[in-house]
Structures are given as structure tokens and as C-alpha cells.
Amino acid sequence: MEKERQTSPMASTAPLVPNIISSTVERALSHLWKICDRRLRPLPTQDGTLTSTTPLPSMSSDGIFGDFVHDGVEVQARKVTKVQETWEQESAGVEVWRLGTPDKSSGEFLHGDAPDPTHPLHPPQHFIYWGAYDWQQDFPNGVNYTIGSSDPAVDFNTVHWSVYGPTPENPDVEYDTTHDWTINFSLDKKQLQQRKTATLTIQLAGAKTAAGNTDVYNATEPYANLALESYINEQKEPLTLLVGFNQSSSCIVRSAVSCYQVRSRMEFPADWLNVGNNVLTLHLPRNATDYETAVLPGTVYVQYDALRLELA
């Protein structure tokens, strides 16, 4: 069992001093920052500058769930704007386990950032055409992950397909082992004692609904909005993360592990959990596809950034 941890506040009081050049277009932009070596650094734009008269700074840091967002910060061209804030990371109680690293990427999982051994420059495996991998060889019985003993780089795929195939190497289409993933975890009596509420957080590094990259709702597509359902043990009622048609992106099929991120914090009664073994089932609709016009697979899919369970 992975070590239980209590999420604690993470503070950064570094002044926000970006190089600001005023935009000629009056509009609000969200300026992204990342904490590197305990200092705040802006994520560069195409020309290396920040461009807006009314930015909405937001910060993220690898290993921390959620973002820090501060609205209403006004900046002026060629003037220093200082903002001093304390970021207290979100917490819904005691963290029991986490799967993956919250870094807005699914690269830590199988066929993600790991070097490809078959090419001389050893690029990340996700740079290789998605159809180069054999789902049935990697997961003949589907994904069945156990917290504390499974290896995320081997036992958890970088993409959760509804249906997989055909590929140039394999004409078969697989949908029996792809759409339901299982996560096993154990809890002891002390962990559940006097706990009333559990919170499951799921962060997606990317997701593709039937809308693809279009941001257009098509009523003839049953999966224009895609439901990722989480079932706790034998509960019939799922916890649902709904990916909207305007949140969809073609991520892994374009060799990416970080695209439009979607997240949800879902509460449920702690008495849904057992002392001893527990099972979380991540469910996508079976054999869910779209009317794909590009030379891309028609399947819908999600790519996990990180998941965690908390108790309060």
C-alpha cells in the first residue's frame, strides 16, 4: 500500500514580474506560469513575451493537483507589476493514494515519454505512430492495476481507448478489453474510521470525443459529449466526468501526451468503500466511435494525467 499522506499547503511568495508588452487587441488572456526550482516562471508565448493589458495569471506545478488562478491583475507596458500571493493547494482530506504525476501529461504511462528502443535517436514512444503498438499484446486481459504493486510505466497505458484497431500490423478490432479499466486498492479499518466523505479526483491530459478538434456540436454524434464513468466497488451509480464537445482534442493520434486538460473532483459516501479490497472501474462507452473524416481512428478516448483518492 502506498504511504498515506496529508496534503499540506504549498506556498510561493515570489513576485510575479513578467516581461509585459501591451497587446493591440483589448482582450483578457490567461497567462500560464509554472513553478520551477521554487521560482515562478512564465510559460513562453510564441514570441517569448506576454501580451495583454488585463491578464489572468494561473500557476501550476508538477506534483500538485489543481492550479492557482488569480483574476483581475492589471499590467501595463514596460512597467513592473508585483503580485504577492500564497498558494494553498487544494485538499479534500487525507490522501490515501495517487496514480500518476499531476503534470498535465500522460507521458509517465506505457508508450508515453519512455525512449523508443527501436530507433537510433530513441525518441519518446508517443512520437511513434499510435498504431505501432499492439494493445492485445500489451494488455491481453485489459488494464488491471493494483495500487502499491503495479508499475505505472508498464501496467497503465498512456491512452484509454474505447476501441482499438485496426492497425497496419493487425486487422483485428478490439473492444472487449479496452473500454473498462480496473484499479485495485486496499484500505484498513483505521483509514476508514470516522470517515464520512471520499473524493476521487481525475485529471485528464487530453480527451477525444466525437467532436474531434472541431469544437462543433453535432446532434447526430452520440458521443459528441463523452462520459467517463467511475464505479466504486459494486455501486450501480457512477461518478461521471463529462468531457464536452468543446473540450475535445486529437491528442495521442497526433503523437501528443498533453492537450486540452479536463478535471473533476467527485465526492461520494465513504461507506461505499470496504475494509480490505476495493475496486475502481473506469468506464468508457463500449465500441464508441465517430464519423471520422480525417485519416485518423474513429474511436473516442481519454488520456489520464493523474488520479487520487482522499478521505475526510
Structural domain count, the chain:
2
Same domain, 121 and 267: yes
Mean pLDDT of 144-151: 99
**Residue 244: DSSP 8-state:** P
Same domain, 109 and 254: yes
Lowest mean pLDDT segment, chosen from 42-56, 127-141, 166-180? 42-56
Asked if residue 6 belongs to a domain, the reply is no
* Alpha-helical segments (H) within the chain: 135-138, 152-155, 189-192
Same domain, 108 and 73: no
Q: Which of 90, 115, 136 is the last residue of a domain?
A: 90
Same domain, 163 and 108: yes
Q: Which of 90, 110, 137 is the last residue of a domain?
A: 90
Asked if residue 238 belongs to a domain, the reply is yes
Same domain, 108 and 165: yes
Percent of the chain with pLDDT over 70: 81
What are the pLDDT digits (tens) for 72-95?
A: 778 788 888 887 878 788 899 999
Instruction: State the residue range of the domain holding 144.
Output: 94-311
Closest by Cα among 271, 247, 244 to 260: 247
Q: Whole-model pTM?
A: 0.82
Cα–chain center distance at 117: 26
C-alpha–C-alpha distance, residues 205 and 50, integer Å: 24
> What dihedral do alpha carbons 8, 106, 147, 150 form, nearest 10°?
-140
What are the pLDDT digits (tens) for 218-243?
A: 999 999 999 999 999 999 999 999 99
The CATH number given to whatever domain includes residue 226 is 2.60.120.260
Q: Which of 61, 90, 119 is the last residue of a domain?
A: 90
Q: Does pLDDT of 270 surpass 80?
A: yes
Cis peptide before 166 (omega within 30 of 0): yes
